[in-house]
Structure 1
């Protein structure tokens, strides 16, 4: 996994859901 999503407090606030994590990762890492 990515260290950013684990270190990001926002991700934890969303419950670290797979869908939310994916969306968060896309927003932070638009590859």
Structure 2
């Protein structure tokens, strides 16, 4: 049970990290276009 919870938390963290990376890339692209 605890292991499952930990795994879910880890997945959520990874998802957040990917989202952050995506936002950073979009921001960089926007800066390059200007």
TM norm structure 1? 0.38
Rg (Cα) greater in structure: 2
Which has a greater percent of helix? 2
Normalised TM-score (structure 2): 0.35
Q: Which has the higher contact order (CA 8 A, sep 6+)?
A: 1
